[in-house]
Chain A
């Protein structure tokens, strides 16, 4: 059996005095495309930060490719949420290039090979046209493409994508998911893709990692997205409804809750 790309054992993490992950265990096979689902505050970002070594677990462990890497040394590309992004007046190219060997001391020169790597990352996400524009003039979706290009630098084997579909319209969501999926398959990457809505990922993901109430459930879509499985995870009755090839999680049967996969979080 191959070493898991990411493995957590009895992992407990707190944020703001609240335990957001409580003795969570899972093992993600290498090369898999995993949707990390859960409502606001379910622990998606905390899980990513624990994997990256930015948050020290209260208990348990998390390993990347079977090892405990030092901070900043793991083969992981990270695409954060955009909230802390400095838009700035620099061009997109310079924003992406800043991440290349960004932890090394010295002047921010770009050698010919560094330039080639930045251009290759921009090509991979079809963002060369965005690279010459000021970041502040780009839309949310365009900035997401630059952040994805940045995550691809330094040849990662694992991608952690935190809400890459936020601020995108439904058509762009599907397009972005396909782009990431194609890249992952082409390069043999393991992808953890956090989102509120499972539906843009239908047909692409291999596994779902569902987070709720500090617990986690990992499995295929058919294993996790069922009424009994999610009711057990939430510790309360929820219903999984399929309609027009779309999945909805509904709490207490309210028709007005049939919007997204994590309604149970909001209606409880």
Chain B
């Protein structure tokens, strides 16, 4: 299967997506913001559709709209309005805009399907440079902010008292979630971002690893899902996103079983 360039490209793209989704997803689950990635992927869908209409790359439109929306979510004060209400409103607006874009994209139904369900085998080798730069930038930023982010996630009141800027961290982190969502959507599609972003991280947390090891395990599990999905897709001729979703559920179920057996 590695004789084909599109397969080699797919494996590298899957590695880069897992590299970002593992640690970002770990914080996302820890902070109870899993739904944010789902919402941002829908916002990104609208952005990608709009970009295609303007003849721009879908990844560019997806990334920009997801990052801007993530920062907007972070800036919205949860003391004024419930975070879940805000995310729900953004999601509804994005779905409506996405529907509008789909209406105009009927000449290219394949593009819409690729956005919704992913098209990992269609990623061009030149896209890997973009994905690689985004992955490195995203993980470096997360690494720099991970200590105060962990503190703020677990104990917001104490962190604020110790001088941690909660709002700044919220905005920066959700911007990173936007980038990670854009990368992940290239692999799994908009509708299945949850499987690569949340399932490995939730399994890692369920197993009780500490922050550093937990993020590493989340990356390893995401990589297992992504590469496993590609291999199974090759063998079965079924979509990779289906296998990734199936492996994500299996990994989480297995982690729950292990945690239960260990008395956690």
- A residues sitting closer than 8 Å to B (CB atoms) are 52, 54, 70-73, 76, 78-81, 84-86, 88-91, 93-95, 98-99, 101-109, 134, 137, 150-151
Contacts and interface: CB of A to CB of B under 8 A. Distances in A.
B158 A78 contact: yes
Contacts, number: 107
Contacts of A93: 210
Interface stretch (B13-21, B85-93, B149-157, B238-246): B149-157
A178 B151 CA distance: 29
A147 to B, nearest CB: 8
Contacts of A134: 208, 264
Contacts of A94: 210-211
Interface in B128-149: 143-148
Nearest to B149: A108
A108 B150 contact: yes
B158 A88 contact: no
A80 B210 contact: no
A78 B161 contact: yes
Chain B residues touching A, majority SS:
helix
A142 to B, nearest CB: 16
A103 B145 contact: no
Given A104-B147, A108-B212, A90 B158 contact: no
A122 to B, nearest CB: 15
A67 to B, nearest CB: 16
Contacts of A88: 30, 154, 205
Nearest to B152: A102
Interface string B27-64: 00011100000000000000000000000000000000
Which among A79, A107, A137 has the greatest number of chain B C-beta atoms within 10 A? A107
Contacts of A54: 160-161
Nearest to B31: A86
A81 B159 CA distance: 13
A86 B162 CA distance: 17
28 contacts: A70-B163, A78-B162, A80-B157, A80-B161, A81-B157, A84-B156, A86-B30, A86-B155, A86-B156, A88-B30, A90-B154, A90-B210, A90-B211, A94-B210, A94-B211, A98-B155, A99-B151, A99-B159, A102-B147, A102-B148, A103-B151, A103-B162, A105-B145, A105-B148, A107-B147, A150-B155, A150-B158, A151-B158
B155 A137 contact: no
B208 A107 contact: no
B175 to A, nearest CB: 16
Given A102-B159, A108-B211, A137 B154 contact: no
